[in-house]
């Protein structure tokens, strides 16, 4: 009589553990996708900043050569 109750309890615990695992996996996947989006955004910012720095350096070089 006790054995079927124990087996049912174990099955319920296993199902709950599976649900927690699935939830954890989905959360980790969402965090990874967000991190990838942030990385793409930062790369775009790096490119924009590099472009601005190049233009400033070119302007500074023009100004320096024009002042001499």
Rg (CA), the chain: 29
pLDDT band, very low/low/confident/very high, at 1 (cuts 50, 70, 90): confident
pLDDT at 3: 86
Domain holding 2, by residue range, is: 1-68
Separation of alpha carbons 35 and 63, rounded Å: 41
Please state the separation of Cα 65 from the chain's center in Å.
45
Separation of alpha carbons 45 and 68, rounded Å: 35
pLDDT at 30: 98
Look at the chain and report how many structural domains it folds into: 1
pLDDT at 67: 72
Give per-residue pLDDT as tens, 10-56. Answer: 999 999 999 999 999 999 999 999 999 999 999 999 999 999 999 99
Token pair, residue 7, equals 């087996």
Token pair 């100004």: residue = 63
pLDDT at 68: 63
């Amino acid at each position: 009589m006790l054995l079927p109750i124990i087996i049912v309890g174990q099955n319920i615990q296993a199902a709950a553990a599976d649900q927690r695992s699935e939830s954890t996996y989905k959360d980790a996947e969402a965090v990874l996708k967000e991190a990838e989006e942030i990385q793409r955004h930062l790369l775009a910012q790096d490119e924009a900043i590099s472009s601005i720095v190049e233009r400033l350096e070119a302007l500074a070089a023009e100004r320096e050569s024009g002042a001499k």
